[in-house]
Amino acid sequence: MTILDKIVADKQKEVDLKKKLVPLKQLEQSILFERETISLIDQLKNSSSGIIAEHKRRSPSKAVINQQLNVQDVAKGYEEAGACGMSVLTDGKYFGGSLDDLLLARASCTLPLLRKEFIIDDYQIIEAKAHGADAILLIAAILDREVIKQFSELAQGLNINVLLEVHNEEELQKSIMPSLNMLGVNNRDLKTFKVSTQISKDLSDLIPDDFVKVSESGISSVAAIQDLKQYGYQGFLIGENFMKAPNPGESAKKFINELEK
Give yes or no for a contact between 39 and 156, defined as CB atoms under 8 angstroms apart: no
Q: Which residues are identified as catalytic?
A: 54, 56, 116, 165, 186, 216-217
Q: How far is CA 139 from CA 110, 184, 206, 229, 253, in A?
A: 26, 9, 18, 23, 29
How many Å apart are CA 147 and CA 103, to the nearest integer? 27
Q: Which helix (H) or strand (E) holds 52?
A: strand 51-55
HSE value, Cβ hemisphere, 13 Å, CA-based, for 86: 37
Burial track 20-42 (b if 16+ CB lie within 10 A, e otherwise): eeeeeeebeebebeeeebbbbbe
Q: Which helix (H) or strand (E) holds 71?
A: helix 71-81
